[in-house]
Amino acid sequence: MAASTLVQPSSATMMAASDRVNLAIIGPGSRGQQLMRTFLRVPGVRFAALCDIYEPRWDQARKITGENTRAFNDYRELLSTKDIDAVIVSTPLSLHSEHVIAALDSGHHVYGEKSMAPSHNAEKCATR
């Protein structure tokens, strides 16, 4: 995880009212699933939502969460849900900046897999 990027949104941060930290993940592929297991070893963490356009990933990810986690195939729908504290982006590299920027714009904390973007210009957008 040390090589990845953790970005805070510029707007006011949002926290769940309880001690629970509700995470969502965009892209629960092999790397994303490893991240899910690692985050679930942190006290209070659960996954409230997941998103992947490859729907067989949904059940794979639900086996990891141990619950019937809400699943989306459109990340914009996931980001519009109200009970998420932070978003993990572990999509293919070419999509990192698009998903990280959208998650930040929706007011969430973001954990983004490296690299933040495939090009210098896209990275500047993500860090603006």
Partner 1 sequence: MGSTFTIYLYTHDQTKADEVFEAAFDEIERVEEVLSNYRPSSELSRINRMAATEATTTDPEVFKLLETSFEYSRLSNGAFDITVGPLMRAWGFFRKNGRYPTRDELSHARAEVGWTKVKLDPNQRTVRFAVPGIELDPGGIGKGYAVDRVIDVLRDAGVKAALVDAGSSSLYALGAPPGKEGWKVIVPRPGDRAHAVAEVVLRDNSLSTSGSYEKFFRLNGRTYCHIMDPRTGEPVQGMLQTTVIAPTGTATDALSTTMFVMGPAEGRKLLESMPNTSAIWITNSTNEPFIEQWHWPGRLCRIQDDCPAAGEENRKQ
Question: Smallest distance, Å, CB 37 to partner 1?
Answer: 5
Please report the beta strands in the chain, taking only residues with DSSP state E, as ranges in sequence order: 5-7, 21-26, 45-51, 70-72, 86-89, 109-112
Looking at the Cβ atoms of 14 and 45, the one nearer to partner 1 is 45
Tell which one of 18, 43, 121, 128 touches partner 1 (CB under 8 A): 43
Interface with partner 1, residue 41, by CB under 8 A: yes
65 lines the binding site for partner 1 (CB under 8 A): yes
Pairing between β-strand 5-7 and β-strand 109-112 as defined by DSSP bridges: antiparallel
Our finding on whether 40 is near partner 1 (CB under 8 A) is: yes
Tokens of 92: 């293919």
In this structure, the number of other CB atoms found within 10 A of the CB of residue 11 comes to: 11
Six token digits for residue 10: 């510029």
Q: Is 37 in the site for partner 1 (CB under 8 A)?
A: yes
Does 56 help bind partner 1 (rule: CB under 8 A)? yes
- Reduce the DSSP state of residue 73 to 3 states and report it: coil
- Number of chain positions touching partner 1 (CB under 8 A): 16
Question: What residues line the site for partner 1 (CB under 8 A)?
Answer: 30, 34, 37-38, 40-45, 56, 60, 63-66
